[in-house]
């Protein structure tokens, strides 16, 4: 009943303004912050392929819980991806509140962004666009990984990238994620006044430098890893489906 | 040697049915230390008596001459022509406000509406005895209040804000600054709960997307970034 009253009257049953907008703003920041930090970890794990196939294999097994269950279980990855997927959807739903919701709003935003040439306004434009792109690309990636968690590994992942034609999607997704995430983290710091200190403007300049450095770092890392997966996938194209066997196991077998 | 400059103005009279929005170019000679206000006055006196723009103080105090110069909202009286190396300036009226004519907009109407929305006055049930000297205020607190009171209501923060342009009901940086100002004034007895009632929604503090165009273009350099973040932290925790 309170939802009905709040929905129609705009006041809680105590006669106060709804506290939900505050919660939504907070949850948007919380979920965004989690996803951005998660993506740092994700990118480090993905780029383990740059060290070696064996290293990537053991990282995968570790994430499957090999330290608890012998040999690890992909189910653990599926469960974790499901949680991330839920957080992703919640964040997307909350982020939508800020997007232009009709043509007039889109028109004025476009004219304003082009006219004022203000960097933070432009950055938000990129954030909004990349967010929109991720509604689709992010969902595809998350669903595939959630339902195929056993197929993560030096060969399985490379086959997905190359033979299953995911590389074009991953190029777009990588750009979208890295821009959206680092701009989002920068904006989180500004929005809540973290690290403001005595000179918030100087802090903002420093934060923006850090933001660009992080964007550059993760894009470089991401593209380097993607190229390696594409190369492995290309070389492994005639043996799609074959799982990677780490060097130590081959030696043991011998 | 004075150089030739070109000022292109978006002219439109929404009250004239025959008027169509169009850019009109004016060519004139730059004079030493020429501000945009001086240039516009010269145009009106010598070239086009029909050109409308607002001004009062000519010194960046009254906040009347806000307009968009080459895409950037700014005060005409504080805009030096010499800062535009190619000598070309494109002027359009500030968006977000009701257009009166050409460069003249009704910021007063917007500010009045915003002031009513955020109840921009000291709220207290204390009886005031005007025969007695006002109660003393801690100098640091007084400084903090005066710092935010420096807002001249020019509307540049509003015209710079993408949120305010997309969502006309948004109280804008000027409105949020006003709440920040009263929230630190010890004479104002309103609680965080009361301030939440005024700006605790997407038309208030939770609508701000922290694009900070307001902070970057405010001619009085008000600490909007810091104060808006302060309000957000303060009001997000209201039970």
Kindly list the residues from chain B whose CB atom is less than 8 angstroms away from the CB atom of residue A105: 166-167
Q: Is B200 within 8 Å of A19 when comparing Cβ atoms?
A: yes
> How far is the C-alpha of B191 from the C-alpha of B194, rounded, in Å?
5
Token couple for A117: 């040439």
Q: Cβ(B227)–Cβ(B180) under 8 Å?
A: yes
Check the CA dihedral A133-A135-A136-A137 and report its sign: positive
pLDDT digits (tens, 9 = 90+) for B123-171: 998 888 889 998 899 999 999 999 999 999 999 999 999 999 999 999 9
Higher pLDDT, A7 or B162: B162
Residue B156 and residue B96 in contact, taking contact as beta carbons nearer than 8 Å: no
> What is the predicted pLDDT for the residue at B134?
86
Total beta-carbon pairs less than 8 A apart between chain A and chain B: 100
Residues from chain B that touch A201, judged by Cβ atoms under 8 A, are 215, 225
In angstroms, rounded to a whole number, what is the distance separating the alpha carbons of residues B199 and B184? 16
Q: Which residue has the higher pLDDT, B219 or A66?
A: B219
How high is the mean pLDDT of chain A? 94
Nearest to A191 among B196, B217, B232 (CB): B232
- The rounded distance, in Å, linking the Cα atoms of B64 and B76 is 9
Nearest partner of B54 among B46, B43, B66, B38, judged by Cα: B66
List chain A residues with CB under 8 Å of B203: none
Q: Residue A253 above 70 pLDDT?
A: no
The token pair at B61 is 């105090």
- Reported as a single tens digit per residue, the pLDDT across A114-162 is 999 999 999 999 999 999 999 999 999 999 999 999 999 999 999 999 9
The stretch A75-90 carries a mean pLDDT of 97
In A, which residues are within 8 Å of B95 by CB distance? 108, 112
Chain A, 95 to 124: residues with Cβ < 8 Å from chain B are: 97-98, 100, 105, 108-109, 112-118, 120-121, 124
Domains in chain B, start-ordered, CATH in brackets?
4-104 (3.10.20.30), 118-235 (1.10.1060.10)
Do B225 and A19 count as a contact with CB atoms less than 8 A apart? no
What pLDDT shows up at residue A2?
78
Please state the pTM of the whole predicted model.
0.92
CA B5 to chain centre: 27
pLDDT above 80 for A250:
no
Query: Chain A contact for B87, CB < 8 A?
Result: no
- Cross-chain Cβ contact A97/B236 below 8 Å: no
* Nearest-by-Cβ selection for A21 from B68, B200, B213: B200
**pLDDT tens, chain B, 239 aa long:** 689 999 999 999 999 999 999 999 999 999 999 999 999 999 999 999 999 999 999 899 999 999 999 999 999 999 999 999 999 999 999 999 999 999 999 999 999 999 999 999 999 988 888 899 988 999 999 999 999 999 999 999 999 999 999 999 999 999 999 999 999 999 999 999 999 999 999 999 999 999 999 999 999 999 999 999 999 999 999 98
List the single residue in B196, B201, B229 with the smallest CB-CB distance to A193: B229
Candidates B212, B217, B227, B237, partner chain A, best to mutate (most A CBs within 10 A): B212
Please state which CATH class domain A2-100+119-238 belongs to: mainly alpha
Q: How far is B201 from chain A (nearest CA, A)?
A: 5
What is the C-alpha to C-alpha distance for residues B196 and B204, in angstroms, rounded to an integer? Answer: 9
């Amino acid at each position: 009943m309170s939802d009905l009253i709040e929905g129609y009257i705009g006041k809680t049953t105590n006669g106060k303004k709804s506290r939900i907008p505050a919660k939504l703003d907070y949850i948007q920041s919380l979920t965004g912050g989690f996803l951005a930090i998660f993506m740092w970890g994700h990118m480090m794990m993905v780029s383990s392929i740059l060290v070696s196939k064996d290293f990537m294999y053991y990282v995968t097994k570790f994430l499957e819980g090999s330290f608890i269950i012998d040999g690890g279980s992909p189910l653990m990855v599926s469960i974790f991806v499901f949680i991330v997927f839920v957080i992703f959807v919640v964040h997307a739903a909350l982020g939508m509140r800020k997007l232009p919701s009709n043509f007039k709003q889109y028109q004025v935003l476009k004219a304003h962004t082009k006219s004022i040439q203000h960097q933070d306004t432009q950055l938000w434009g990129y954030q909004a666009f990349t967010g929109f792109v991720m509604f689709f690309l992010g969902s595809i990636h998350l669903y595939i990984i959630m339902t195929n968690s056993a197929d993560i590994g030096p060969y399985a992942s490379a086959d997905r990238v190359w033979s299953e034609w995911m590389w074009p999607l991953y190029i777009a997704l990588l750009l979208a994620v890295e821009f959206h995430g680092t701009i989002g983290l920068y904006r989180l710091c500004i929005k809540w006044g973290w690290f403001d200190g005595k000179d918030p403007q100087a802090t903002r300049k420093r934060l923006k430098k850090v933001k660009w450095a992080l964007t550059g770092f993760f894009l470089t890392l991401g593209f380097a890893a993607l190229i390696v997966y594409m190369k492995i996938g290309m070389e492994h194209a005639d043996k799609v489906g074959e799982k990677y066997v780490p060097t130590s196991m081959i030696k043991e077998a011998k | 040697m004075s150089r030739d400059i070109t000022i292109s103005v978006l002219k439109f009279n929404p009250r004239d049915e025959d008027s169509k929005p169009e850019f009109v170019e004016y060519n004139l000679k730059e004079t030493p230390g020429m501000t945009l206000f001086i240039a516009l006055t010269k145009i009106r006196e010598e070239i086009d008596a029909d050109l409308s723009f607002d001004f009062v103080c000519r010194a960046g105090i009254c906040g009347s001459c806000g307009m968009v110069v080459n895409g950037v909202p700014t005060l005409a009286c504080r805009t030096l022509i010499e800062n535009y190396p190619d000598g070309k300036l494109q002027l359009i009226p500030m968006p977000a406000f009701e257009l009166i004519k050409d460069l003249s907009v009704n910021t007063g109407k917007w500010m009045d509406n915003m002031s009513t929305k955020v109840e921009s006055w000291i709220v207290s049930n204390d009886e005031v005895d005007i025969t007695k000297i006002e109660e003393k205020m801690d100098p640091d607190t007084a400084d903090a209040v005066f710092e935010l009171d420096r807002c001249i209501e020019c509307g540049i923060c509003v015209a710079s804000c993408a949120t305010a342009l997309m969502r006309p009901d948004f109280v804008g940086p000027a409105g949020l600054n006003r709440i920040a100002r009263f929230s630190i004034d010890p004479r104002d007895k309103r609680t965080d709960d009361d301030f939440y009632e005024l700006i605790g929604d997407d038309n208030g503090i939770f609508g701000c997307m922290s694009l900070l165009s307001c902070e970057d273009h405010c001619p009085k350099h008000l600490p909007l970034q810091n104060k808006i973040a302060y309000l957000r932290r303060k009001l997000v925790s209201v039970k």
